[in-house]
Amino acid sequence: MIASTPQPPYYAVIFTSARTEGDDGYGAMADQMVALAQRQPGFLGIESARDSIGITVSYWESEAAIRNWKQQSQHLVAQRKGRADWYESYFTRICKVERDYSFNRSQREENP
């Protein structure tokens, strides 16, 4: 569930959202969009969690890959439906990941 990404630099899209009430097809579309994103050129990984707000972070090889995904036709349909029905509000931030480090219980120390 934690994305396994290559050495930086790479890119991240942080999508933070507040949902409207009810599902109204949201869950099925969200699953479909994850499956579709995974097939896009330059896709590196995705992480998602939701409680009072939702945060989805997708990782990409380049800004060009992010722009292509933003314009993908089925994704455009989902974005329009999101604004019409599913989201009270959202914030999307496009970032360059400059450095990273990680920890796994088996290793006991941060890497690198």
Which parts of this chain interact with a copy of itself (CB under 8 A)? 1-3, 5, 8, 12, 14, 16-18, 20, 47-55, 57, 63, 82-83, 87-105, 108-110
| Shortest Cβ 79–a copy of itself spacing (Å) | 9
Which tokens belong to 36?
A: 């579709």
- With beta carbons less than 8 A apart as the criterion, state whether 98 and 8 touch: yes
99 CB contacts (<8 Å, ≥6 apart)?
Answer: 8
| Shortest Cβ 98–a copy of itself spacing (Å) | 6
What gap in Å lies between CA 98 and CA 110, rounded to an integer?
A: 17
Which CB sits closer to a copy of itself, 33 or 82? 82
| Shortest Cβ 106–a copy of itself spacing (Å) | 9
Which CB sits closer to a copy of itself, 39 or 109? 109
Nearest to 69 by CA among 56, 59, 84, 81: 59
